[in-house]
A and B are shown apart, each in its own frame.
Chain A
Amino acid sequence: MTSPALEARALRKRFGTTAALDGFDLTVARGSVHGLLGPNGAGKSTAVRCLTTLARYDEGSAFVDGLDVALEGAAVRRRIGLVGQSAAVDEVLGGRENLVLFGRLSGLPKAAARSRADELLERFDLVDAATRAVSTYSGGMRRRLDIAASLLLRPAVLFLDEPTTGLDPRARNEVWRAVRDVVALGTTVLLTTQYLDEADQLADRISMLRAGRVIAEGTPEELKRRLGRDLLRVVVTEVGDLPRASAVLASIAGAEPVVDEAERSASVAVGSPTDALLKAARGLENVPLDDLGIRRPTLDEVFLTLTDTTTEVAA
């Protein structure tokens, strides 16, 4: 089995005149977590729905666990778990009843469905709430139950569509922990999110999606390095030294630094950070400094650059 867990080539999907997917490419290695990051309407849900057989794509090809999604839908459905954008559990039933029902519908015999349900309730910390109606659950508990329900058949690939949207920070942490647990068992995960820190925290690799197309792909570190510009920043001890420090930075970067008198800092974007840092250290030898360093851009800054529709970036 050397095929990737997930593969999509040039997927296209239109709704009327909107191209929800416009040449979508994706490769996800087995056992990894892949983040699909994009703003509202980028096509994240459409990509997930196409890969999970819920929607048909118009063009291109897609493979899940080596199976052709368009031709072997039933086999694909036996190997995937899907946690959709809204928690798809029966609100009236209890957590355990939900898991047993979905387990039996997936073809597990009664005893196996029950023991699997108990195992998952244990793993996702839902034992105490197992018999309570789901309508009384918190948002985080509901999500965890939703994730548990999608793991009943031990899927090879788990799809999570915006699993933490609308959750408070604590619930979000609970869900993150649940996702890490799933990954630890060797399940491949495709996770869509609008939150950069979520992708940064959970994903091994990230595809940034805009208007139905992947505009950048790589590890979080790579993306930050490749797409964000590193900042050279100096903080002087005496505010009177600021003009001098600023002049040194300007000569290194060939651009006017941003000066903040209150912080006693000057900063400027640089192309080759190590080189710039060495030059700055030499140029400022006789100036008393509080700090001198390179600041990596946050994923937020990268994201904003990329999703700003006026910026064209080569992937």
Chain B
Amino acid sequence: MSALRDGSLLTGRELRHWARQPATPIFGTLFQIMLLLMFAFLFGGAIDLPGGGDYTSFLLPGMLALTMLFGLEGTMTAIGADTKKGITDRFRSMPISSAGVVLGRAGADLAVSVLNLVVLLIGGLLIGWRVTGGPGGALLAVLLLLWLRFAFLWVGIFLGLTFRSEGASMAVQILVWPLGFLSNAFVSPETMPGWIAAVSNVNPISATATAVRELFGNPTGATGGFFADNALALAVAWPLLLTLVFLPLSARAYRRLRS
């Protein structure tokens, strides 16, 4: 499959970027660690979980899900930069399939996400987070996280191809924060005021975070309700829905470059 070959070549390109500019992955990683420590130690003592349990064990899966959301910025920035610099046009004038170009982006970004996950998991282990579920569940948890990242990939590609100004990427960088906070990543929705709790519950990040907590055997901060009971199904369905919407939109935006 030539598309797979192109995809792996373009993933290799991203890894070479890391080798040449290690500051980018290093600072990205430090930033994650900083967030993790800040929330664990600064706010950890002040937050009571409904249903009980240790806050650090609750926090880590939330941070993992949040990191998948933040990856969207990276996708969008990379796609936008290639398009602006004419590299996308070079690809389009070469005998490469557009599927290959997209697979390359997907491979590169999933590689970044795997690195992010590994760093956070190690960081979590160091501050006391533990997996109490089985290894099968843990593996499934990681797959669910990457599945969420895969969905955000299409959102990022769509946004990167559609909104190409500096302002637009800035707006996305800012908007991911409220989107991330209006979830159960840091705080259980059961302790939130009514409408904020409602928004946080339907947030796709919450579904994945809850499912991952269950699979790792960590506290979920939920004592019941539709979203807690169906977390696993929602963690599969939400990314599927996002992909079904944004994959065609990305494909259309790519074709539109030809208009």
Contact = CB atoms under 8 A, between A and B. Distances in A.
Contacts of A55: 258-259
Interface stretch (B48-56, B84-92, B232-240): B84-92
Contacts of A237: none
Given A54-B92, A55-B259, A88 B85 contact: yes
Interface residues of B, number: 25
Nearest to A94: B20
A311 B61 CA distance: 71
Nearest to A74: B95
B17 A92 contact: yes
B20 A88 contact: no
Chain A contact residues, majority secondary structure: loop
Most buried by A among B89, B95, B96: B95
B164 to A, nearest CB: 13
Interface string B100-119: 10000000000000000000
A93 interface: yes
Interface in A93-116: 93, 97, 101-102, 104-107
Interface string A292-307: 0000000000000000
Interface string A111-124: 00000000000000
B170 to A, nearest CB: 21
B1 to A, nearest CB: 13
A230 B17 CA distance: 58
A78 B93 CA distance: 9
Given A54-B258, A92-B21, A97-B16, A107 B87 contact: no
A84 interface: yes
Given A88-B87, A93-B20, 17 more contacts: A52-B93, A54-B92, A55-B258, A85-B86, A87-B85, A88-B90, A89-B87, A90-B13, A91-B85, A92-B17, A92-B20, A97-B16, A105-B9, A105-B91, A106-B94, A106-B96, A133-B20
